[in-house]
Structure 1
Amino acid sequence: MSESAGAPRRVPTVAVVILVAAVVGVAGLVAGSALTSGGDRVSRPAEGSAEAGFARDMQAHHAQAVEMSTTVRDATEDPEVRSLALDIMLTQQQQAGQMYGWLEQWDLPQASLAAPMQWMSETDSGMGPIEHGADATAAPGSDTVMPGMASDADLGRLADAGGVDAEVLYLRLMVAHHEGGVAMAQAALDLVEDDDARRLAQAIVSSQTAELAVLNDMLDARQAVSTGQ
C-alpha cells in the first residue's frame, strides 16, 4: 500500500529498542494461531478497526511509560520507586509485544496514516471525546492527543531531575499516564470484538487502576518529605 499521502505514524524509537525481546517471543506464539486447523484464515480485524487502532495507539502509550520508567531508574536510588518502575517497564513491554504480535497476525502494518485515537471517533459507540489532561501531548505530525501522554517538556524535566525531585515528577506524570491508559482501555472494551483485545483491555483497566492507588500513596509520601510536612 502506498504511503505517498505522508509519513506514517510510528511507535517511538525507544519501543523498537526495548521491546525487541518481547516482540520476538510473542510473534512466534501468534504465528501458529493465524490459521484454523483446516488451513483457512480465521476472522481477523481489518484496517480501520477499533482493534487495529487500539493496538497501535496503546503500543505508543506504553512505550512512553517504559521510557519514563527507564529514566527514573537512572535518576534515583530509592528502592520503592525503582521497583515500581521496573514492574511498569516489564508489564508494559510484555503487553506491547502482544499488540505487536496481533498486528502481525492480522497482516496489518505496525504504523498507520490515521491520526491517533481516530479509531474512537469513527465508531458508532455514541461516546463523546475523551477528556485529555494538561499533560496530554499531540503525537508527532498530528493535532490529536492521546490521553495522559507527557509532553516533551515534561520528559526533558524528568531527564534533568534527580533524587526526590525526579521521583515526584515521575509519579505525577505516571498518575496522569495511567489515568489516560485506563480511559483508552475502557473505550476499547466498549468498541472491540476480538477476544484477545478485550482481555488485554480489561487487564489494563484492572492493573492500572490498582497501580493508581499505589502511585498516589507514593506521591503523597514524597511530596510531604519535599515540603517538610
Structure 2
Amino acid sequence: MRRALPLLVVLLAALAAAFLLAPRLISPAEDSREVRFVREMIQHHTQAIDMATRIRDTTTDAELRTLALDIMLSQQEQIGQMRGWLTLWGRPWAGEGMSAEHARMMGMATQAEVATISTQPEKQAEVTFLQLMTRHHQGALAMVPPALEGGVRPEVQALARQIQAAQSAEITLMTRLLKDRGAQPLPAPGGMGGMDMGDHQH
C-alpha cells in the first residue's frame, strides 16, 4: 500500500497538469475572441508601423525618431507573435478583417491621412503623425477589454495587457509632444467605450 501511494500522487499530479493544459491544447475556433482579436490587432499594428516608418524618414527630431522606432520594433515583434499563434491554431493569417467603418471606430486612419505624413513639411508632418498615432493608440485600447474577459487564452490576455500598458504610456508621451508643438490631440475614436468585438459588423 505504501508503494502505491507515491504512484497515486504522481498519477494525480499528471491528471491535474493535463487538466490545466487542456484549454491550451484546444485551438480557438474561427469565430473566437482570440482569433478575432489577433487578426484585427495585426491589421491595426500594420498601419501603425507604416505611419511610424514614414515619420522616422521625415523628422529630424531625435525624441520623435526614437518613439517611431520603438513603435516599429515592438509592433513588428507582436505581429510575429500573433501570426505564430494563428499558425499553431491552424488558422490562416488573413481573415475577413475590419470593415472601413469599424477600422475608423478603432482609431485607424484613412490611406490619404497616412500619406500626408510623407508629403507635408517636417513640422506639420510631426503634428499630423502625433495626432493620427494618438487616435490610433486610443483605438487599440478600445480593442483590449474583450481580450481580457474570462475564457480567453492566457497568452492572448498577457499580450493584450502588454499592448494596454505600452500604448497608454505612448499616448501620454505623444500628448506632451503635441503640446510642445502648440497642438492638441484629435477627438477620440468612436470605439473608446471598449465595444464588444463580438457585436460589431464587418
Band the TM-score falls in, shorter-chain normalisation: 0.7 to 0.9
RMSD: 1.9
Cα shift at 1:161: 1.4
1:156 aligns with 2:139: no
Cα shift at 1:192: 5.4
Distance 1:85 1:112 in 2: 28
Aligned partner of 2:128 in structure 1 is 169
Aligned partner of 1:178 in structure 2 is 137
1:83–1:192 distance in 2 versus 1, CA, 3 Å? farther
Cα shift at 1:186: 2.2
Deviations 1:100-143 (A, max 9, x none): 00000000011123x52xxxxxxxxxxxxxxxxxxxxx44xxx5
Aligned match of 2:30 in 47, 51, 74? 47
Aligned partner of 1:206 in structure 2 is 165
Gaps spanning 5+ residues in structure 1: where? 1-35, 117-137, 225-229
Query: For residues 12-31 of structure 1, what are the structure 2 equivalents within 5 Å?
Result: none
Distance 1:62 1:99 in 2: 11
Amino acid at match of 2:72: M
Amino acid at match of 1:181: A
Aligned partner of 1:62 in structure 2 is 45
Deviations 1:64-85 (A, max 9, x none): 0000000001111111110100
Query: For residues 81-96 of structure 1, what are the structure 2 equivalents within 5 Å?
Result: 81-96=64-79
Aligned partner of 1:123 in structure 2 is none
Cα shift at 1:153: 1.9
What secondary structure is seen at the aligned counterpart in 2 of 1:48? Answer: coil
TM-score by length of 1: 0.66
Moved more, 145-154 or 168-177: 145-154
1:191–1:171 distance in 2 versus 1, CA, 3 Å? farther
Deviations 1:53-98 (A, max 9, x none): 1110000100100000000011111111101000010011111111
Aligned partner of 1:195 in structure 2 is 154
Equivalent pair of 1:148/1:176 in contact (CA under 8 Å): yes
Amino acid at match of 2:30: E
1:83–1:50 distance in 2 versus 1, CA, 3 Å? same
Deviations 1:151-182 (A, max 9, x none): 12211211211311111100000100000001
Aligned match of 1:109 in 83, 92, 95? 92
Cα shift at 1:191: 6.1
Distance 1:206 1:186 in 2: 13
Amino acid at match of 2:31: G
Distance 2:121 2:83 in 1: 33
Moved more, 209-218 or 152-161: 152-161
Equivalent pair of 1:76/1:167 in contact (CA under 8 Å): yes
* Larger radius of gyration between Structure 1 and Structure 2: 2
Aligned partner of 2:60 in structure 1 is 77
Gaps spanning 5+ residues in structure 2: where? 1-17, 184-202
1:98–1:77 distance in 2 versus 1, CA, 3 Å? same
Distance 2:172 2:150 in 1: 27
| Aligned length, in residue pairs | 161
